[in-house]
Amino acid sequence: MTSAGKRFREALKQESPLQIVGTINAYQALQATKVGHKAIYLSGGGIANASYGLPDLGMTMLEDVCIDIRRITSICDTPLIVDADTGWGHAFNIARTVKEFIRYGAAGLHIEDQVAAKRCGHRPNKELVSTEEMCDRIRAAVDAKKELDPDFYIIARTDAHASEGQQAAIDRAKAYVAAGADAIFAEAIHTLKEYKEFTDAVKIPVLANITEFGATPMFTTEELASVGIDMVLYPLSAFRAMNKAALNVYQELKDKGTQEAVIDTMQTRMELYDMLNYHAYEQKMDELFSKGKAK
Ligand code: PYR
């Protein structure tokens, strides 16, 4: 099979802009793939929230992320882009991050220019490292991918728009292109015009993060295409919906002593089994194990 990086680059050619949908766990990766999505995403905020019950404040590390990468890529071939936050350290740590991500089957990552004590991209008071330090991060990542998967896709994220302004963010993006990034992730942008300024300024793909309840309006793929955006990220859309649905079920059980009123909000047993290919596993079990054969 082709490398994950190559599969992601193929997806980029097939769909424009390419939708990259957040899949908080292996099962959601199967669901997104079943619907026909060509690229999936593992959110750093999502790992902190869902796997550890923590806020998105730089408290999870490389191994925490690798656990969730492994779970997804072992069951699903859809190319997976992973949030590497700040890369977790200096150049050699970033090289390890890239190599571990490739070994565990990721197709690419995004690495950002915030300090290690990072904040969610859509919160105030973000602090950034210098352009030079971020360029070192990018160079370390680009160098590290060469041996294992030269197609591994490196997206440089700049959080500068909020703290340094649009022009400084564009200047940073240009420097990140020169350092070897495959694409630019312009975080917390407010208008289509601002996206257009990015796509005019850099001659590599630009990603728009259309996360809900943040600084960026929910622009459609059509609107984003009109300003030259190549990738649209929905990091936590399904996760937010899952959370609300689950909370509703817990509340209903507590209040009413029965789940009857919320049963329509649930996936049925058969739908779950179909998604998991459950019956094929059971058939295999019957073929392989003597107890099954005897029946
Ligand atoms: C996150 O979902 O954590 C991003 O950084 C987009």
For residue 292, what pLDDT is reported? 55
Asked if 209 is an active-site residue, the reply is yes
CA gap 272, 279 in Å, rounded: 11
Token pair belonging to 284:
């295999």
Residue nearest to atom 2 of ligand 1 (CA): 43
Closest ligand 1 atom, residue 110 Cα: 5
- For residue range 175-227, what is the model confidence (pLDDT) as tens digits? 999 999 999 999 999 999 999 999 999 999 999 999 999 999 999 999 999 99
Smallest CA-to-CA distance from 95 within 149, 148, 145 is with 145
Name the stretches of the chain with pLDDT < 50. none
CA of 144 to the centre of ligand 1 (A): 23
- For residue range 21-52, what is the model confidence (pLDDT) as tens digits? 999 999 999 999 999 999 999 999 999 999 99
Handedness of CA 139, 141, 146, 150 (dihedral sign): negative
Angle at 218 between CA 127 and CA 9, to 5 degrees: 80
**Complex ipTM more than 0.85, yes or no:** yes
For residue 293, what pLDDT is reported? 57
Is the pTM of the predicted complex or chain greater than 0.90? yes
Question: What totals of helices (H) and strands (E) does the chain contain, helices first?
Answer: 15, 8
CB of 58 within 6 A of ligand 1: the answer is: no
For residue 7, what pLDDT is reported? 98
CA gap 279, 265 in Å, rounded: 24
For residue 1, what pLDDT is reported? 78
For residue 290, what pLDDT is reported? 77
| Backbone angles phi and psi of 46, in degrees to 5 | -65, -45
CB of 209 within 6 A of ligand 1: the answer is: yes
Query: Residue 241: CA atoms inside 13 Å, Cβ hemisphere, count?
Result: 10
Q: Helices 62-73 and 91-103 meet at what angle, rounded to 10?
A: 20
Token pair 């990018």 is found at 138
Report the DSSP pairing between strands 183-186 and 108-112. unpaired
Smallest CA-to-CA distance from 42 within 108, 141, 123 is with 108
Q: Do the annotations mark residue 111 as ligand-binding? A: no
Q: Is 128 helix (H, G, I), strand (E, B) or coil?
A: strand
For residue 294, what pLDDT is reported? 52
Whether the upstream peptide bond of residue 205 has omega within 30° of 0, thus cis, is: no
Smallest CA-to-CA distance from 185 within 161, 164, 207 is with 207
